[in-house]
Chains A and B, each alone.
Chain A
Amino acid sequence: MTTEHKDNSVAEMLRKFLERNRHKTVFLEHEVKGLLRELGISTPKGMFISAAESVPSSHALAYPLVAKVSSSKITSKSEVHGVRTGLKNIDELTIAVRELMHIENAEGALIEEMAPQGVEIVAGGIIDEQFGPVVMFGLGGVFVELFRDISFALAPLKKEDALHLIQQVKGYKILTGYRGRPQTDIDALVKVLVITSEIISTELIREIDLNPVVLYPDSAIALDAKILKGEV
């Protein structure tokens, strides 16, 4: 992984990405993830198959795999049953992809290596009416849904700010090896938050959502990502 990113280089790469995709109103998941990887955020190994293509008989991905429908018109993949997990071999993969392509408005499918269990968090950025670019951090799953255990900070963040932001949530202990759970890679999480904050503080986009990012003892991987276009 690359280490430091300068503010202007994030803005530069984002600008190029928006330029490349200027004809699009919505970005597909693999496009956003491609951008994130360029900026230094890890995502699962994967490949995109367009609706016109079929599953290649050989590929470099390790089973088990997950397949997700890709469409600029579908906002919630789970609502249209557009996610297949735990695919163990080429036959299961081929059937899953064929089914996904039949979903209304499907433009393709994203196939990725299944991420092992870890601690889920949410990172995001918005342009707030009062404060301008703001970054959000929250623990994933029930913590964010049920307890709204989230915190916000002014973007862009320095590393210390990001660490401070992480420590604000009530469930912070979950990240540091609570009750025998493995400790998570706080440095990697800090990096994800710093980059997210730099993306939103360009004000070239309106919202960014990395949900979830899974934390492991030695890495952080963004499993899903969205960007809402539109200059502020």
Chain B
Amino acid sequence: MNLDYLFNPESIALIGAAHTEEKLGGVILKNLLRFRGTVYPVNPNYNELMGLKAFRSVQEIPGFVDLCIIMRPANEVNAIFKELKGKTGCAIVVSSGFSEIGNTGPQDELKRLGREANIRILGPNCMGLFNPHKNLDTFFLPHERLRRPGKGNTAIVSQSGAILSCLLGAMQSSNIGVSKAVTYGNAIDIDESDLYEYLAGDAQTDVVISYIESVGDGRRFIEKAKKLSGKKSLIILKSGKSQSGQSAAFSHTGRLAGRYEVFSSIIRQSGISEASDLDELTDSAKALSYQRPFKGNRVLIITNGGGSGVLAADECMRQGLEVAELPDEKREKLKKAFPYFYGIHNPLDLTGQVKDEDYITALDELTDAYDGFMVIALPNVIGITERFPALMKNFRMRTDKPVVSYMAQSGITKKLTVLLERSKIPVFSSPERAVRALRTLLL
């Protein structure tokens, strides 16, 4: 089973291409103009579209087309699909109006046609995919409305196109690079299991985040998810948490077995990570895409504000991370190095009189004593300056242990964040979020 026609095509036909960006078929065509390969717009009413030769039908295109995108109303899709036999290896059916509105008959027929013609189908009711390594972008979203993230090591697998677009936006603003982003909608053929299998073998992907509404074959899903998470980081966000148990009366078990409870319980036991919400999903993706996981659970919290340090320690406790006291001899050494009013414990409090270098003095002394580092910088005091990111970058290069940061809002936060994240230290907007992200890098 190979999805190369989908992810790495050399040629693409867009059935339902339009001449203007006022139409979705025009937005897709505009985005496809960036593609490093051949694009064939298909529309019987035009000889040329956006500078490309247009074709009246797929049959008129010379030779084999790796990937076809169908962007026509649902009631035309099956007739169009019949013309693809022998002509293509994979079809993305963007059109909606199938099982999601109860229209299952035509969808079943499409599934049958796909099997018969040996053409893989993504969708229907999906936005297709984004592969920045090939400049391949089948989304009907203009770049002015959704800036795409750059190239990176994180793949997004989303059942919903809308959620995918939210995640892409969040990743773009969190400086997370993308390897592949794909939506699969009603999943009549290619589903999350197929995509996990493909991504497990994809050299450009280290982290996979996956948004799931429902799984078809749960056993196969577990098998593929386990395999993927054995090789790479996989984090799943499942929606539909409030659905109750299926059989009302007969047994306790039936009443308690809500679809989500069963799902969550089983993936937890299979060692697969689950995010509880969108924030956690993107925060985990950020941490895992920036840094490598490390085995251990001992955390050093270093801060220039007592309260934030305690909040971080509280969250560590909730997450099962240990905030152990400093080793005695290290404490003695740091006591001599620092002013008497610094709090030489864990959390280590550098107070409002902090200087940039103090963080590094402490971190260097304690690198070996802990497994992960939570660095809190409240840059509204004068002691934290624009030199801070460079110092942190140097420390980061001296260790392979996870380092995350919480930074409060101040006049220079944005600047510092960009610099820190450029050196792969993820910055979060609350101590709790930073600790939860650190947790995904530990244990």
Residues of A at under 8 Å CB distance from B?
Answer: 75, 122, 124-126, 128-132, 134, 136, 138, 144, 148, 150-154, 161, 164-165, 168, 207-209, 211, 226, 228
A132, A144, A153 pick with most chain B CB within 10 angstroms:
A153
**Also in contact, A154 and B266, with CB within 8 A (given A131-B218, A148-B256):** yes
**Also in contact, A207 and B247, with CB within 8 A (given A136-B256, A151-B265):** yes
Instruction: Assess the B215–A152 pair: CB atoms within 8 A.
Output: no
Instruction: Assess the A128–B218 pair: CB atoms within 8 A.
Output: yes
Q: Does B261 contact A (CB under 8 A)?
A: yes
| B residues less than 8 Å from A129 (CB atoms) | 246, 259
Q: Does B45 contact A (CB under 8 A)?
A: no
Name 6 A/B residue pairs within 8 A (Cβ), A-sorted. Answer: A75-B250, A126-B246, A129-B246, A129-B259, A130-B215, A131-B218
- Which residue from A130, A165, A168, A209 sits with its C-beta under 8 Å from B252? A209
| A residues less than 8 Å from B237 (CB atoms) | none
A128 shortest CB reach to chain B, Å? 5
Q: Does B254 contact A (CB under 8 A)?
A: yes
A61 shortest CB reach to chain B, Å? 28
Instruction: Assess the A131–B219 pair: CB atoms within 8 A.
Output: yes
A194 shortest CB reach to chain B, Å? 15
Bound-state Cα–Cα, A144 to B245, Å:
14
Extra contacts, 9 of them, besides A126-B246, A131-B266, A209-B252 (Cβ < 8 A), are A126-B254, A128-B218, A130-B216, A151-B268, A152-B257, A207-B247, A209-B250, A209-B251, A228-B251
Chain B positions 204 through 238: 1 when the CB is less than 8 Å from some CB of chain A, otherwise 0: 00000000001110110110000000000000000
Instruction: Assess the B262–A152 pair: CB atoms within 8 A.
Output: yes
Q: Does B242 contact A (CB under 8 A)?
A: no
Bound-state Cα–Cα, A152 to B252, Å:
13
A4 shortest CB reach to chain B, Å? 23
Bound-state Cα–Cα, A189 to B250, Å:
23
**Also in contact, A126 and B257, with CB within 8 A (given A154-B222, A208-B251):** yes
Bound-state Cα–Cα, A130 to B246, Å:
12
Bound-state Cα–Cα, A75 to B10, Å:
63
- Which residue from A125, A144, A168, A226 sits with its C-beta under 8 Å from B265? A168
Instruction: Assess the B254–A154 pair: CB atoms within 8 A.
Output: no
A132, A150, A164, A208 pick with most chain B CB within 10 angstroms:
A150
Q: Does B2 contact A (CB under 8 A)?
A: no
| A residues less than 8 Å from B218 (CB atoms) | 128, 130-132
Bound-state Cα–Cα, A125 to B256, Å:
11
Number of chain B residues close to chain A: CB under 8 A: 25
B320 shortest CB reach to chain A, Å? 13
- Which residue from A122, A130, A168 sits with its C-beta under 8 Å from B262? A130
Closest to B270 in A: A154
Bound-state Cα–Cα, A72 to B250, Å:
12
Instruction: Assess the A136–B257 pair: CB atoms within 8 A.
Output: yes
Bound-state Cα–Cα, A138 to B252, Å:
10
Instruction: Assess the A122–B252 pair: CB atoms within 8 A.
Output: yes
Instruction: Assess the B265–A75 pair: CB atoms within 8 A.
Output: no
Instruction: Assess the A150–B256 pair: CB atoms within 8 A.
Output: yes
B307 shortest CB reach to chain A, Å? 30
| A residues less than 8 Å from B215 (CB atoms) | 130
| B residues less than 8 Å from A124 (CB atoms) | 251-254, 256
For window 182-214 of chain B, which residues contact chain A by CB distance below 8 Å? 214
| B residues less than 8 Å from A136 (CB atoms) | 253, 256-257
- Which residue from B219, B253, B261 sits with its C-beta under 8 Å from A207? B253
Bound-state Cα–Cα, A160 to B151, Å:
42
A175 shortest CB reach to chain B, Å? 17
| B residues less than 8 Å from A131 (CB atoms) | 218-219, 222, 262-263, 266
- Which residue from B251, B266, B268 sits with its C-beta under 8 Å from A134? B266
Closest to A140 in B: B252
Bound-state Cα–Cα, A232 to B94, Å:
35
Bound-state Cα–Cα, A128 to B216, Å:
11
